[in-house]
Amino acid sequence: MLRAAGVGVGDEVVVPAFGNVEVAEAVAQAGALPVFADIDPVTYCLDVSAVEAAVNSRTAAVVVVHRFGRRADIARLHELGQRHGLFVLEQGESEAPYDEMAQRRERAAYLDAKLKGVRTPDGGDGHTYQQYVVRVPGNGRPDRDAFARALRAKAVECRVPVKTPVHRLPEFRRCVSLPETERAADETLALPVEASLTKREMQRIVSACNALGGLLQPAF
């Protein structure tokens, strides 16, 4: 896709570091240099202001990745691209069938109303809850990881959505300030929200999380 857009050697492409390494790898395979920009802390997608700050005379494109069922501010990103003469390429997530999406939203609303001690996601406009991602603020301690271990011990499946931001990986290590990316990598945890979950399973998730919430005392 990048080569078809004319991106190649000597070009720079703005990409998120919060996510899969494949995007940066695709840029490198095209002969270009991936340049990492920070994310919006609510959507976990590229922050428009951060992208603009990363643009220079060598920038040829921006790769926008929609995350967890939330969409990036694609209208503003396209406007930025037009202003600077950049290709704006989107990478989406596979959409669930409408009925499944509706059930995910129903389960997400239940978790929103019942969970304590964690920051629930901002549903926003059109959130499809491909993943239900909460924040477990660390307060200087690895609370998210301890929280996840405790949930798994109670038979609640959960996972860290992004274990290592791409700019921390050896092959793409950069001296760049990405505070929201770093914070999200340290604090985010994906809880079950599948349409197949029963009411009893949802209650078990809430009970297990809320039993741990008092240990965290996060600063909201």
The CATH number assigned to the domain holding 178 equals 3.90.1150.10
Same-domain check for residues 116 and 149: yes
Rounded to two decimals, the pTM is 0.90
Domain of residue 45 covers: 12-91
End of a domain among 41, 72, 91? 91
End of a domain among 91, 119, 137? 91
If one counts the domains in the chain, the total is 2
Taking alpha carbons only, the member of 83, 87, 90 closest to residue 6 is 87
End of a domain among 47, 65, 91? 91
Q: How far apart are CA 111 and CA 129, in angstroms?
A: 12
Asked whether residue 6 is domain-assigned, the answer is: no
Q: What is the pLDDT along the chain (220 residues), one digit of tens a residue?
A: 788 778 889 999 999 999 989 999 999 999 999 999 999 999 999 999 999 999 999 999 999 999 999 999 999 999 999 999 999 999 887 777 888 999 999 999 999 999 988 999 998 768 999 999 999 976 555 589 999 999 999 999 999 999 999 999 999 988 899 999 999 999 999 999 999 999 999 999 999 999 986 444 444 4
Contact 166, 36 (CB under 8 A): yes
Classify burial at 97, counting beta carbons within 10 Å of its beta carbon; exposed 0-12, middle 13-18, buried 19 or more.
exposed
Contact 181, 139 (CB under 8 A): no
Joined tokens for residue 211? 């039993």
- Could you tell me which residues are beta bridge partners of residue 33? 12
Cβ neighbour number for residue 187 with a 10 Å cutoff? 21
Residue 18 is predicted with a pLDDT of: 97
> Alpha carbon of 106 to those of 101, 126, 211: distances in Å?
9, 13, 23
Joined tokens for residue 129? 């809850």
Residues near 9 by Cβ (< 8 Å), separated by ≥ 6?
31, 32
> Alpha carbon of 31 to those of 6, 8, 14, 84, 111: distances in Å?
11, 5, 14, 21, 44
Q: How far apart are CA 191 and CA 17, in angstroms?
A: 22
* Cα 57 to the center of its chain, rounded Å: 28
Same-domain check for residues 151 and 81: no
CATH number of domain containing 48:
3.40.640.10
For the CA atoms of 179, 114, 197, 132, what is the dihedral angle to 10 degrees? -10
> Alpha carbon of 41 to those of 65, 135, 168: distances in Å?
14, 10, 19
Asked whether residue 141 is domain-assigned, the answer is: yes
Asked whether residue 155 is domain-assigned, the answer is: yes
